[in-house]
Amino acid sequence: MFNTLVVSPCHDSVNTKLHNLLQMTIIPYILSKGIWDLTYLECDSAIRDVVHSNMESKGILIHGHGHGGSVSGHDSQPIFDTGDTGLPIYMDMLEGKIMYSMSCNTGDLLGPKMVNEYGGLAFAGFDDYPPCGESEKYQRTLPFFWLRLLDGYTVGEAYSMAMYNYDYWIDWYNNAEPPPDQPGKYKAAAYTLTRLMDHFVVFGNMDARLVQYKQTDNQQVTINV
């Protein structure tokens, strides 16, 4: 069994939307595979001490609020912090880890420092304040990178596939006929996804994987790494 850690606070409207998004996409996908030992710290379990005592996983998915060098959990308690904001540092335990942070601004400072100074294997996230939610446009895009890592693709492959997926849906929303009662809906969706795509960043080892196999159509292909 492979282990993955998901940290999903739900104490405010933004985090509740992302928590719901994971409940609709990544969580059922992990459980459907039958090969993953899921450590799922949701809502008031997404606190520092609990997260730090469950760091066996190579892969960490988190979506708490981000502030450049920090990402938080329940009630905005910092979970990992570079120390640049004057808070304590909790970065050493990220050595050898792959993290995907669906949080604001963590691609500015936390991600690069995790990889360059604290031995992190790879980081993916956003270097701005990305829009977020649980609607269809987010279901089609935000989880995509992590789902491809779960399928056994490398960080670099998953990033390329995620960017292609953003581009595909941006084009779709720009050209599809919107609902008659919401003529601007699809153009707004295309704008939102363009912002996400423009600020999605990856650092670290592009050849890193979460797992040692690649999942294809109903088939596992073993990979030597």
pLDDT at residue 86, rounded to an integer: 77
All residues at 6 or more sequence positions from 171 whose CB lies less than 8 Å from its CB, including other chains: none
Are 161 and 215 a contacting pair, CB within 8 Å? Answer: no
Torsion angles phi and psi, residue 109, rounded to 5: -130, -50
pLDDT at residue 134, rounded to an integer: 86
pLDDT at residue 81, rounded to an integer: 95
- On the 0-12 / 13-18 / 19+ scale of CB atoms within 10 A, 117 is exposed
pLDDT at residue 129, rounded to an integer: 84
pLDDT at residue 17, rounded to an integer: 95
Per DSSP, helices labelled H in 46-154 are 48-52, 110-116, 136-139, 144-150
Class of domain 2-222: alpha beta
**pLDDT tens over the chain, length 225 residues:** 678 999 999 999 999 999 999 999 999 999 998 778 899 999 999 999 999 999 999 999 999 999 889 999 999 999 999 988 777 889 999 999 999 999 999 999 999 999 999 999 999 999 998 778 889 999 999 999 999 999 999 999 999 999 999 999 999 999 999 999 999 999 999 999 999 999 999 999 999 999 876 655 444 433 332
